[in-house]
Amino acid sequence: MSTKAYLLLADGFLIEGKAIGKQGTSGGEICFNTGMTGYQEIYTDPSYYGQIIVNTTAHIGNYGTVSEEQESDSPKISGLVVNEFSEEFSRKTAKESLQAYLEKHGVVGISDIDTRQLVRYIRSKGAMNALISSVLTPEQMKEEIRKVPSMDGLELSSLVSTKKPYFFGDPKATYKIAALDVGIKTNILRNLAERDCYVQVFPAKTTFGEMDRWEPQGYFISNGPGDPSVMDYAIKTVKEILESDKPVFGICLGQQLLALACGLSTYKMHHGHRGLNHPVKNLLTGLGEMTSQNHGFAVSEKVLRMKDVEVTHLHLNDNTIMGLRLKNKKAFSVQYHPEASPGPHDSRYLFDQFVEMVKEEVLVK
């Protein structure tokens, strides 16, 4: 017999459904992802830390889980909302059901929800805090949801970052890249390693001096969760990285930190961009690309008045800034995820551009 569960939004909107995953209570900011596949990669993306995910695709769980599709060591989401949930899976390579996977990692969820209705509501009202519970009454949930912190002003990267440095790739690779881990995805490291890079991944609060002692030929600033404007420690580090005049590439939160290091500002979006089919225009080439995205903050349009910063990519749905290039430095960034996983591979040329910049740096030296 299925257990009843409730989803409560901060504005009082309440929906009843069935409990999935671990039975209990969990809160976070609610957001939705429009991707049709890749739920395990989504749930393990550290950028989702502190958030309850609504999957817009109707069927979740039907292909189970495999260890190779992890983007970090475990799910980072605070909760899960789906329409139809399957405890049975048909993929032969899957090792366990999604239900067993969620239970093992303590993820609270709810199914049998009209996710179409819910997403339309979030798009209208905006992202807000929410609570899922299979053990509390709706009245008890109204008290509990007040304890959920706002994502605006919340520093989360240090909670998901590695605790100590580690290496990724072949030690005999041609290029050495220092990656500042503020919530890095594994597939980013794979893409760098595939391009003849040996990467040392450093904790979020590592100083520039500590990274520089390894003598890397380029720096990477990762994706991650939370509000970038309160990450003073990382903004300081990125400023010092830029002063080193070595090649720099940032993705998602990495773009926001790069912008803040240049004196720009960021803002919290109404409901963010999360999915696998976001259209972006490359203003340098005039070409479009379909992209994987996951962010609730963006760089302000103040960049348009900056002499040394150029906008390179724009979101074709709402004209938000999707890419930046520093005219006076070997540094660039994008707001979306060229490594995908899940998602299209249209933007992987950006890794090639970064490695080419590093190659030129090595040849000059």
Residues with catalytic roles: 252, 337, 339
- Hey, what amino acid is at 209? G
Q: Is the dihedral of CA 294, 273, 107, 87 positive or negative?
A: negative
Element (H, E) at 314: strand 309-315
CB neighbours (10 Å) of residue 29? 23
* Residue 232, SS3 per DSSP: helix
Q: Which of 302, 251, 297, 303 has its CA nearest to residue 270?
A: 297
Question: What are phi and psi for residue 280, nearest 5 degrees?
Answer: -130, 140
- What are the residue ranges of helices labelled H in the chain? 39-43, 98-104, 115-125, 138-144, 157-160, 186-193, 208-212, 232-243, 253-261, 349-364
**H, E, C per residue of 88-116:** CCCCCCCCECHHHHHHHCCCEEEECCCHH
How far is CA 247 from each of CA 124, 180, 240, 335, rounded to the nearest angstrom? 41, 14, 12, 18
303/127 Cα distance (integer angstroms): 25
CB neighbours (10 Å) of residue 133? 25
- Hey, what amino acid is at 100? A
* Residue 278, SS3 per DSSP: strand
To which residue do tokens 């590439």 refer? 249
Question: What are phi and psi for residue 292, nearest 5 degrees?
Answer: -95, 130
